[in-house]
Each structure stands twice: as structure tokens, then as C-alpha cells.
Amino acid sequence: MLLTLIILNLPSQTTARIKLGLGSLFLPLFGLASSGQQLAGQAGDAIVPRRALLKENETLRQDNQKLLLQAMHAEETARENDRLRKLFEWQQQKRWKLKLAKVILREPSNWWRTVQIDLGSRDGVSNSLPVLTTNGLVGGSSAVNLTTSQVVLLGDPNCPVSAVVENDTRDMGVIRASGPLDNTLVDMTLLPRSANLKAGQNVVTSGQGGVFPIAIPIGRIVDSRAADYGLNTVARVKLSANLNALEEVWVLFR
């Protein structure tokens, strides 16, 4: 109280200076408190936008996944349409009587090479009709039911095919099974010992087996070896048709 009375009785100029000094002493504390209140307010305001941002990010992520799935579906549909268009154009170029069939079942074993198609006797299918793709021969029909048929593929023991090599000597042989390890290869047996075989030569149906018409592509020569104590030659043939990716096939009617 004595200090207050002394300050009040001081001259006005001295009192003003003391007030100014006291104000400059406490001003930083007032500013710090104000800044703290502003930061707390900004932090409180930032909580809501962050929650909204996380929710928006999750929504965008889900929308992006949906778009990716739709794009994948559209791409697969485009590939299927393109494949079917090419199949139709290929059919128009051929003078054969053909019917398109869808592969609905595949034999899981590699030894017995068969698939099942959605054409049967009501569609005119009978046993031993050639089955092919635009790339080449696939096999022949068998075990025909009313609505479905079994197709015995090349390389199966029950599907021998008379074939000829497209070379100068037109060497003829028979397409037979080469074993269960690789269904992209078949053996061409009973070739003459003097066969002029080279890798890359085309192999087609000879038309002499009574089932398959002439000049249907089968594959290409990979290599050859002597067989039957040197009396004959056996060649390995890489099939033109991909038997692992059959989705649609053509049945050739006589």
C-alpha cells in the first residue's frame, strides 16, 4: 500500500514511464496466452476436416477399385468379342460346313487328352468328325450324347492322324501320342528312313486316313530320330493349336 501511495504521488511523467515499463514486462505473457488460444482453436478446427478427408479417401479408394474391376471386365469382353469376330470371319473364308462349339469340360489328366463340347447328336454331331481351331487341327469327336460330345485331342492314344510333311519329298507318317509330359508336342511315326526332315517344316493332314480332310494344319517339325533299328524315322511335332487354351472349337461336318 505504501508503494502504491508513493507511485500515485509521483509526477505524471514518472508515473507514465513506470506504467510503460510494467506493460512491456507483462506484454509477452499476454501474447503467449493469445497464441496458445489461437493454436488450440486451429487444432480444434482441423480435427473435423481430417476425419472428412479420411472418409473421402476411403470412398475414392473404393471407387477406384470398382473402376479397375469394370475396366478388367470391359477388356475381357473386348478380347472375347475380337476372338469371336475373327472366328466368324475365318468361317466365312472356308467352304467347309462348320459349327462353332464351346468347350465346357476338360479332362484333368495329361495322358488321356479329351475335352467336352456343348454340341451333340441333336446338332448333327456324330463320332469321328474333325474338330479344329483357326490355328489347326485339335482332334476328333467321340462319345456323342444328345447335347454334348467328347473330343479326343491330338496326342491321345485314341486319336491317330495320317499326316504329311510339306517338303519336297512329301514324307508321310502317322501322328501319335508322345507321352503325358508335354501336350504341346506329338510324335509323327512311320516316316521313311530317307525322310528329308528339317526343323520348322509344316505338317498337315494327308486326307488318306478316312476321317480328316486334306491340308488341315497340324504343326511344325521340331526334330527327328531313327526308330525301329533304323528302318523308320520318328519326328517330334509342335502343335499349331494350343490345346491348353481351348475355349471355342469348330466341328467340321462331312
pLDDT digits (tens, 9 = 90+) for 208-221: 878 898 889 999 99
What is the percent of the chain with per-residue pLDDT over 90, rounded to a whole number?
A: 43
Sequence-ordered list of residues with C-beta below 8 angstroms from that of 114, at least 6 positions apart, any chain: 106, 107, 150, 151, 152, 153, 156
Please give the span between the terminal C-alpha atoms of the chain, in angstroms, as a whole number.
127
pLDDT over 60 at 168, yes or no = yes
Q: What is the pLDDT of residue 82?
A: 75
Q: What is the mean pLDDT of residues 10-14?
A: 65
pLDDT over 80 at 90, yes or no = no
**C-alpha of 173 from chain center:** 36
On whether the 161-242 domain is CATH 3.40.50.150, my answer is no
pLDDT over 80 at 79, yes or no = no
Topology of 98-153 in CATH?
Answer: Thrombin, subunit H (2.40.10)
Buried b (16+ CB within 10 A) or exposed e, 125-135: beeebbbbbbe
* Spatial distance between the Cα atoms of 133 and 217, rounded to a whole number of angstroms: 10
Q: What is the pLDDT of residue 163?
A: 96
Higher pLDDT, 87 or 202: 202
Has this prediction a pTM greater than 0.85? no
CB atoms within 10 A of CB 36: 10
* Spatial distance between the Cα atoms of 57 and 37, rounded to a whole number of angstroms: 31
pLDDT over 70 at 72, yes or no = no
Q: What is the pLDDT of residue 52?
A: 82
pLDDT over 60 at 26, yes or no = no
pLDDT over 60 at 27, yes or no = no
Buried b (16+ CB within 10 A) or exposed e, 37-62: eeeeeeeeeeeeeeeeeeeeeeeeee
What is the percent of the chain with per-residue pLDDT over 70, rounded to a whole number?
A: 71
Higher pLDDT, 139 or 178: 139
Sequence-ordered list of residues with C-beta below 8 angstroms from that of 200, at least 6 positions apart, any chain: 220, 221
